[in-house]
Amino acid sequence: MNDKFNSLHSHSGIERELKFPKHLVLVDEKYKSLFLQDTITPFKHNGRVYYKVPVLSFVRKGGVFKNFSE
């Protein structure tokens, strides 16, 4: 999680490193309530919990694509 960026954002660095499918993004756990629970999946990386979210839902919520790798 990047504490310096306080709006809905993805972690494109992790997604690229782990070769995520292009239809999913990773968001911080604190944003999970923005999405329908049956459309998201928890994902743990380096001891942190993120959520896999469909790109379309992410964009509709005003998400910003960032190159964060943590």
10, 58 contact by CB (below 8 A):
yes
Residue 66's pLDDT band (cuts 50, 70, 90): confident
26 vs 9: CA distance, rounded Å: 8
Report domain extents, the chain.
1-50
φ/ψ of 20, rounded to 5, equals: -65, 150
pLDDT in tens, 11-65: 999 999 999 999 999 999 999 999 999 999 999 999 999 999 999 999 999 999 9
Burial class of 15 by CB neighbour count within 10 A (0 to 12, 13 to 18, 19+):
buried
Measured CA to CA, the distance from residue 9 to residue 55 in angstroms comes to 11
